[in-house]
Amino acid sequence: MEEVLTQIKDEVIRRLKKLDPAVDIFFEQIHSTDDEHGITRPETYYFIDIMLSNSTVDRFFVEMGVLVDVAYHEKNESNTAYLVKAGELGGLFCPVFSFGGRHITVPSASHKVADHVLHTSFALQFRHPLPMEAESELMRELDVAVEKERNKL
């Protein structure tokens, strides 16, 4: 399951880099804006957050729900720039999001600005196979006795 989430993250990063090659993209922690790194003023960047929810369908499949939130911070913190970027990001992830050989329809993306950061979110729903475990019993040792028949004269 971790492989699927990594594929989603990698595809989001690939699409964002294609849209804005010069803008930093973070997933774990934003190092370049920390005080200890010497940058105290806000810069332009993306931050990706992926949230997972799943439910078991049966012993073979799980129904996965993945919510992807792409936060975009504009250096100038302009609401007009956020509106323009919301349109670009919506077209970037809708109507089809492809990763790892899958093509998932994304009916809509939502956008909101909170604390001078644009959040673009979209949901992915798909069924994923569970790893199969061997259910059969292992073969047991078979004792065989062979008797030779002597040629009778």
Predicted TM-score (pTM) of the model is 0.77
What pLDDT digit, counting tens, does each position of 24-46 carry? 999 987 665 555 655 555 689 99
| Distance (Å, whole) CA 108 – CA 116 | 23
Residue 120 has pLDDT above 60, yes or no: yes
Question: pLDDT of 58-105, one tens digit each?
Answer: 888 889 999 999 999 999 899 999 999 999 999 999 999 999 999 999
Q: Quote the Cα angle for 94-91-14, to 5°.
A: 85
Strand order across the beta sheet in which 45-56 lies: 24-26, 45-56, 61-73, 117-129, 109-114
Residue of 104, 106, 109 whose CA lies nearest to 121: 109
